[in-house]
Structure 1
Amino acid sequence: MSISKSKFIRKYFLSNIAYLLIRTITFSLRIKYINKELVDEILRSGKKIIFAFWHQRQFLLVNSHKRMNILLMTSISDDGEFQTEVLSKFGYNFVRGSSTKGGVGALKAIVRGINQGSNAAIAVDGPRGPIYEVKDGIIFMAKMTDSCIIPVSTSSSSCFIFKKAWDRYILPLPLSKCVIIYGSPLIVKRDDDNDKKRQELKTELDRLTAEADRVVGLISD
């Protein structure tokens, strides 16, 4: 099989299958939202939001946030290209880059996008970990845009955990009881200490994740 044909299959055929699978699984789930009124209030006020979440917990966020004018960052790789193809079908916009390749330019592009009216979302420990460690990028973005960070986590009563993946990715199983829980806004000022704010965000994301697991009764090993 030629490379061009392989890329064609991946880009158009497999991405459509992935899109349909996400939609089908999500449609079957019983999703409870906690503290979503805080997000709705901020959006109505016109203030811009950067959603922060763990890479492991992102599946439930894909369909639920598709109409919020959100800008995403995807890595400059074949996997990143595939992710872009899938998520673009939900209406998201993108910049390409990561913490290791094209990252500075991508962060600046997201900052421009937010300042021009977009919201943003970022897996704060992505794209390759370490798991549950907040990186500096989101703090830089918040400082440069005067937007607020909204931590969000998710859980599912029944799920498949990819134990060999660096993030132990969680895929909710059809018909599961699920929850999406939002934390209080984190405001970052220009002169705030980056490490302190990263730790504040990690603490809140850890708390939200534990609470989400408790709500649905998930016991993770």
Structure 2
Amino acid sequence: MYRIAIKFIELWLYTLRPKIIYSDRAQSLIASGQPYIIALWHRDLIYGLYHFRKKPGVIMVSGSKDGEWVARALRCWGQHPIRGSRYKGGKRAIMEMAKYIKERGVGAGIVADGSQGPPKKAQIGALVLSRLTNAPILPLGVAISKAKRLNTWDRLVIPYPFSRVSVTLGDPILVPKEVKGNHLEKYRKILEDGLNASAILAKRNLMESKG
């Protein structure tokens, strides 16, 4: 049942027409083979996970019942889900992710505004993971020409088939090992601004491609 549903999702998202624009520094980081952390807003979860489906990595997934679908899809795509959230098992999940990155030399993915929000307000999970692993964070932006937005806290984006998609990655953000406690706020704001800038750039690129 799950595998059939996941194959259907793959076919549906395969019809989308992506335009990919990464910053020069993001491209250099990816080309280097060094582990990196993709951070995204929860609203972009569906296409964001699909876009990186061929990149082996460890992904934090909510421990809720809905998160089980995401975890199963990730396993089908050869990725390693770790269950946890800000309110349940988040610290343990970050430590497990850090261990996995160090042992396997792979990247990671994490929803910056968590599983319950507030929306578009970065939490510290990605920052702590960067500090523990020395892996830079890449802020992801997604814009879709035709989509439905659910009436949920995150306004989750459901792309319509055959829509145009713009995907952007901003410059890497590395959190030094000595940055802890209240000092994380500076980097939290940098990440939040980077995610919003990537989203704006993705939308601009989508409008330009339409013209």
Q: TM-score, normalised by structure 2?
A: 0.90
**1:58 partner SS:** helix
CA offset digits 1:158-198 (Å, max 9, x no partner):
11111x21100011111111111010111111233200001
Aligned partners of 2:8 and 2:153: how far apart in 1? 23
Aligned partners of 2:97 and 2:201: how far apart in 1? 30
Q: Counterparts of 1:44-55 in structure 2 under 5 Å?
A: 44-55=31-42
2:160 corresponds in structure 1 to 173
1:157 corresponds in structure 2 to 145
1:75 corresponds in structure 2 to 62
**2:152 partner SS:** coil
Question: Runs of 4 or more off by more than 4 Å in structure 1?
Answer: 36-40
CA offset digits 1:71-111 (Å, max 9, x no partner):
01112222222221122212211111111111111110001
RMSD (CA atoms)? 1.8
One-letter identity of the residue aligned with 1:78: K
Q: 1:147 aligns with which of 135, 145, 152?
A: 135
Q: Counterparts of 1:18-33 in structure 2 under 5 Å?
A: 18-33=5-20
Alpha-carbon offset, residue 64 of structure 1: 2.1
Aligned partners of 1:175 and 1:82: how far apart in 2? 23
2:124 corresponds in structure 1 to 136
2:199 corresponds in structure 1 to 209
Aligned partners of 2:196 and 2:111: how far apart in 1? 14
Q: 1:99 aligns with which of 86, 90, 103?
A: 86
Alpha-carbon offset, residue 40 of structure 1: 4.6
Alpha-carbon offset, residue 37 of structure 1: 6.2
CA offset digits 1:13-57 (Å, max 9, x no partner):
1x2343123212222111000017654532332321000110101
Aligned partners of 1:40 and 1:217: how far apart in 2? 23
Gap runs ≥5 in structure 2: none
- Cα contact 2:168–2:198 (8 A) shared by 1: yes
Moved more, 67-76 or 32-41: 32-41
- Cα contact 1:149–1:185 (8 A) shared by 2: yes
Aligned partners of 2:115 and 2:95: how far apart in 1? 17
Q: Highest Rg: 1 or 2?
A: 1
Aligned residues: 204
Q: TM-score, normalised by structure 1?
A: 0.86
Q: 2:110 aligns with which of 113, 119, 122?
A: 122
**2:81 partner SS:** strand
Gap runs ≥5 in structure 1: 1-12
Identity in percent: 27
One-letter identity of the residue aligned with 1:168: R
**Cα separation, partners in 2 of 1:25 and 1:39, compared to 1, 3 Å:** farther
**Cα separation, partners in 2 of 1:207 and 1:43, compared to 1, 3 Å:** closer
